Amino acid sequence: MKTCDTNKKKCSRCGKVWGIILLVIVILAVLVFGFFFWARSANVDKSEYNTLYQSEMTHEAASIDSTIMVATYNIGYLSGMTNNLPIYASPEFIANNEVRVIEALRTLDADIVGFQEIEFGSSRVYGTNQGTMICDSLYAYGAFAINWDKRYVPFPYWPPKVHFGKVISGQAVVSKFAISDYKVHMFEGVKGSSYFYREIYASRLAQVVTLDHPVKPIVVINIHAEAFEAETRVKQLDFVYELFWELDKEFPVILMGDFNSNLKEADAKIYLFLNDERLVSCAIDENDKTASPSSFPADNPDRRFDYIFFNPDHFELIDSRIATEFGDISDHFPCVAKLRIK
């Protein structure tokens, strides 16, 4: 009888222990999933994702002749060579890069710039809206597109101090010329990653901005293609290619952006554009495309992701280059082109 009682007591204690363990697991699961669904939620109403901005500051009047300078620049959230690395970027570091980028852009004096990886109030840049900052400093007009809006992004994973936290970021086109029309085309998203990754990850898009140039209206397509999933990037760039030629039927079009396709690789999707004889490619060595100047990473450039294309029926190329003088403000260099409207 004593043995039976002892066994019952042991079973009772074991049952209580397993009950506590199960309760802890359930609580942890609720906390983890609760955090996840909170983290993936938006900070901004979707109706405010794609907006036009007109600076109230006084700016130099845009040129009225047929020559324009354009640039594409992935500014990497102005986090320099720390971008996406588990390195703490202090408020002083970010503020210094804000000053540096304004001075570099002022010296460049481009008429139109397409930006990728620009912040609209994220935690990692201490709440700065880089789009309005650049417009208020240099440009009268801006078209902004949010493609990453999450309450908390726990990346880089460790230590927590370097987490992105609240993210509100995307792309922008800034211009000295007024914007008459603005559309955004969302790209197909990544397919091969986990549900949790997809729900936290950024979307990808193309901005289509029509500018009132005094000679004739100009359309700018600004893109940022998928970086990590090649199959998805191929589909996105196929879409962009078709979009360009559809718009080209009606307007002079300048296509720019971070294509995340490296021309140093012979089978890269960017050759869909580079090998099209109807297009002019800026800052490209036509004798040996793989020898063209690199734009990434800024501290030791050995890859090319950033491009500008146009149809020579509409524009004449005067000059183009990779603007290495921007240094390590970002992990990318800008691609710059001086064009004449025909």
Q: Indicate the domain borders of the chain.
A: 1-39, 45-341
- Tell me the β-bridge partners of 165: 153
**Type of residue numbered 1:** M
Residue 11: partners with Cβ closer than 8 Å, 6 or more residues away: none
Do residues 241 and 272 touch, judged by C-beta distance below 8 A? yes
pTM of the model: 0.93
Q: How far apart are CA 264 and CA 105, in angstroms?
A: 28
CATH of 45-341, one of 3.60.10.10, 3.30.465.10, 3.10.20.30, 3.40.50.300: 3.60.10.10
Backbone angles phi, psi at 64, to 5 degrees: -105, 5
Q: How far apart are CA 320 and CA 286, in angstroms?
A: 13
Maximal CA-CA distance, the chain: 105
Q: How far apart are CA 315 and CA 254, in angstroms?
A: 9
> What does each of the 342 residues of the chain score in pLDDT, given as a tens digit?
445 555 555 566 676 878 888 888 989 888 888 888 999 999 999 999 999 999 998 887 787 899 999 999 999 999 999 999 999 999 999 999 999 999 999 999 999 999 999 999 999 999 999 999 999 999 999 999 999 999 999 999 999 999 999 999 999 999 999 999 999 999 999 987 788 888 989 999 999 999 999 999 999 999 999 999 999 999 999 999 999 999 999 999 999 999 999 999 989 999 999 999 999 999 999 999 999 999 999 999 999 999 999 999 999 999 999 999 999 999 999 999 999 999
